[in-house]
Amino acid sequence: MSKKKKVPEFKSEERERAFWGEHDSRDYIDWRSGKKAVFPQLKPSTKTISLRLPEMLLEDLRYLANKRDVPYQSLLKIYLAERVENELRSE
C-alpha cells in the first residue's frame, strides 16, 4: 500500500471543490478502510410542486392507491421513483 498524501486545509468550500475537481481522492484517502455510516434520523429533502394530470389518470391512480391502502401521492412517488431508476439503469 502506497503512502497517502495529506489532505490540505481549505479556506473555503469553493477552493475545496476546485481542488477535488482536479485531484484524485485515491491519492489522499484509503477508501478500503472506510466504514459504513448509518443515519437513521435523516430524512430526504422534499420540494412541493404543482402537477396537472388528466382527470382520468388521477382517478385511476386513486383507484390503484385505494386498492393498496396508500395515499395516491405516495403511490405516485413510488411509480416515479421506479421509472426513473429503470431509465437511469438502461442508459
Per-residue pLDDT tens over the stretch 28-86: 998 888 888 888 888 888 899 999 999 999 999 999 999 999 999 999 999 999 999 99
| Residues, the chain | 91
On whether residue 8 sits in a domain, the answer given is yes
User: What pTM was estimated for this model as a whole?
Assistant: 0.53
Average pLDDT of span 18-24: 95
Owning domain of residue 4: 1-31
Q: Measure the CA–CA gap between 69 and 71, rounded to whole angstroms.
A: 7
Provide the number of structural domains found in the chain. 2
25-27-30-32 Cα dihedral, nearest 10 degrees:
80
Is residue 6 in a domain? yes
Kindly state whether residue 24 falls inside one of the protein's structural domains: yes
Indicate whether 41 belongs to any domain.
no
